[in-house]
Amino acid sequence: MLLLPITLLFSSWFTSVYAGSQTKGQNCTVGNNRLQIGTYQFHSDCDTQTYCSSQGTCELKGCRKDQYPFGYPIDAWVPPKCPSGQFCPDEGDACQPWLPVDSACQLNRDDQCEPPPNWQDLTDTSKYGRNVNGSVCLNNVCMWANVTVGLPCEVENTAYIAYAGTDEFIDIVSRGNCQVGLYCESQSLVCMQTKQLGETCDADKECLTFNCLSKGVCGPGADSPNHLGIWVYSVVGIGIFGGMFVTLITLFLIHRRQRDQEREKRLQYWREQNQFRQSIMQMKEIARTSILSLPGGNGHNSNRSTVCSRAGSEESSTPMIQYSVHKSSGLRQQYVSDDNGSAYNEMMMQESRR
């Protein structure tokens, strides 16, 4: 298995966890500097912003290796990164020049080693981080990742403690100094060609995709996208359009039902109004019949004729009749205005001529 950048980030995260509690100016012991078991993260008595100097006191760090170091407040002073040709050690005391081949280096610090002259051809440009500028630090020794197929190679196996829920297990990371596209076989210690998808494997480093499945074959990369069959897209498309049509049909049926209910309400309202109008017409007819059925309604013995006869002459009765017509009740005026051709109006005209 190959050490991936995510593992480095995982280890860097423990910097703030395993850092000491001593601050600037407080006492420390250089002999307590160590790598934590399981994570191999550097630890000292000093906190994340200081390092333990040779005088036994915590001093502010003089450099950093991370773009965004942990343990610094927003407004705190952050030490600078080292320029090209130099590196910042785990202690973070000061920048140092690159180390030549066969020099001692710190664990997983490929950036501490001097790159080869043809580093552009040897550097790993993938996301797996197999080397830095063609240099690797294996077994705490700087070397170049330039060994070709069939030649002897160096391998480094580091056991990290990993967790799956509450279960703890060992994750062995294996690295070598072979060229990109090759791996160092742990038994024969020679560089071999990485295996293609579907070939048998024993470790992730043997596969080109760095993913050896549990069934012992090279599988697709852990970050590779899933390619679905055309039938999946067809089913999804049918489901989407089917859902749209079902939704539209359902809304249409709901609105049609609402329209039918509103139409029924309007029809019922019209029927009630029509019945009310018929009732009014019947009342008018009953009122007309009642008026015409009064005593003397068609003869000369009506109240109007009696009043006119008492006046003594036909001329004197006319104004009284006209006055009575003009001064008739509002009900009669309304009745006459509503139905000019009614029998009541004819009766009034006969009375006026008399």
Per the CB < 8 A criterion, the answer to whether 105 and 112 are in contact is yes
Question: Per the domain annotation, does 344 fall within a domain?
Answer: yes
Boundary (domain end) residue, out of 47, 77, 94: 94
Q: Which two tokens stand for residue 206?
A: 């043997």
> Residue 57: is its pLDDT beyond 80?
yes
Question: Per the domain annotation, does 324 fall within a domain?
Answer: yes
Amino acid identity, position 92: G
Per the CB < 8 A criterion, the answer to whether 173 and 153 are in contact is no
Among 10-19, 154-163, 275-284, the minimum mean pLDDT is found in: 10-19
Q: What is the pTM of this model?
A: 0.59
Boundary (domain end) residue, out of 94, 127, 153: 94
Domain of 338?
Answer: 301-354
E strands in the chain: 34-35, 42-43, 50-52, 58-60, 86-87, 96-97, 135-138, 141-144, 155-164, 167-176, 182-184, 191-193
Question: Per the domain annotation, does 280 fall within a domain?
Answer: no
Question: Per the domain annotation, does 107 fall within a domain?
Answer: no
Boundary (domain end) residue, out of 76, 94, 112: 94
Mean pLDDT of 260-270: 91
Total domains in the chain come to 2
Question: Per the domain annotation, does 270 fall within a domain?
Answer: no
Question: Per the domain annotation, does 289 fall within a domain?
Answer: no
Question: Per the domain annotation, does 86 fall within a domain?
Answer: yes
Report which of 237, 210, 214 is spatially closest to residue 224, judged by C-alpha positions.
210
Tens-place pLDDT, residues 225-248: 887 889 999 999 999 999 999 999
Question: Per the domain annotation, does 77 fall within a domain?
Answer: yes
> Residue 332: is its pLDDT beyond 60?
no
Whole-number Å distance between alpha carbons of 294 and 285? 15
Number of Cβ within 10 Å of residue 69's Cβ equals 18
> Residue 303: is its pLDDT beyond 60?
no
Rounded mean pLDDT of the chain?
80
Tens-place pLDDT, residues 167-198: 888 888 899 999 999 999 988 999 999 999 99
- Tell me how far CA of residue 320 lies from CA of 203, 313, 343, 346, in angstroms: 129, 12, 21, 18
Tens-place pLDDT, residues 134-169: 999 999 999 999 999 999 999 999 999 988 888 888
